[in-house]
Structure 1
Amino acid sequence: MRVISGTARGKRLQAPRGTDTRPITDMIKEALFNVLGSGIGGASLLDLFAGSGSVGIEALSRGARQVVFIDNSHNAVRVIRDNLNNCGFTQGFELYRNDVFRAVEILARRKTKFDYIYADPPFTVEAIFGPLLETLDRTSLLAPDGSLIIRSPRRMILPLKLKSLQEYRVNNYGESTLHYYRLI
Structure 2
Amino acid sequence: MRVIAGEFKGRKLNSLKGDNTRPTSDKIKGSIFNMIGPYFEDEVILDLYSGSANLAIEAISRGCQHAYCFDNHFKAIEVINENIKLTKAPKKFTVKKMDARKGLVFLESKKVKLDMVFLDPPYAKQIIVDDIEWVIAHDLINDRATIICETDADVELPDVIAGVEKVKTQEYGTTKVTIYRLWEVDLND
Instruction: Calculate the TM-score normalised by the size of structure 2.
Output: 0.90
Runs (4 or more) in structure 1 with deviation over 6 Å come to: none
* Structure 2: runs of 5 or more not aligned: 184-189
Q: How many residues align?
A: 183
Instruction: Calculate the TM-score normalised by the size of structure 1.
Output: 0.92
Report if the CA contact (8 A) 2:39-2:62 is conserved: no
How many angstroms does 1:97 deviate by? 0.7
Secondary structure at 1:115 match in 2: strand
Q: Deviations over 1:68-90 (max 9, x none)?
A: 11111111011010011123222
Q: How far apart, in 2, do the equivalents of 1:167 and 1:137 lie?
A: 15
Provide the residue aligned with 1:80 in structure 2.
Answer: 80
How many angstroms does 1:113 deviate by? 0.9
Secondary structure at 1:15 match in 2: coil
Q: Deviations over 1:34-60 (max 9, x none)?
A: 122255232111011000100000111
Provide the residue aligned with 1:140 in structure 2.
Answer: 139
* Structure 1: runs of 5 or more not aligned: none
Amino acid at match of 2:32: L
Q: How far apart, in 1, do the equivalents of 2:84 and 2:134 lie?
A: 28
Q: How far apart, in 2, do the equivalents of 1:58 and 1:162 lie?
A: 26
Report if the CA contact (8 A) 2:39-2:63 is conserved: no
Q: How far apart, in 2, do the equivalents of 1:149 and 1:140 lie?
A: 17
The 5-angstrom pairing of residues 46-125 of structure 1 reads: 46-125=46-125
Q: How far apart, in 1, do the equivalents of 2:69 and 2:10 lie?
A: 21
Secondary structure at 1:7 match in 2: coil
Amino acid at match of 1:162: I
Q: How far apart, in 2, do the equivalents of 1:28 and 1:163 lie?
A: 26
Q: How far apart, in 2, do the equivalents of 1:133 and 1:56 lie?
A: 18
Q: Does 1:23 align with 2:20?
A: no
Deviates more, 1:72-81 or 1:158-167: 158-167
Identity of aligned residues (%): 30
Q: How far apart, in 1, do the equivalents of 2:89 and 2:61 lie?
A: 9
Report if the CA contact (8 A) 2:44-2:114 is conserved: yes
The 5-angstrom pairing of residues 155-174 of structure 1 reads: 155-174=154-173
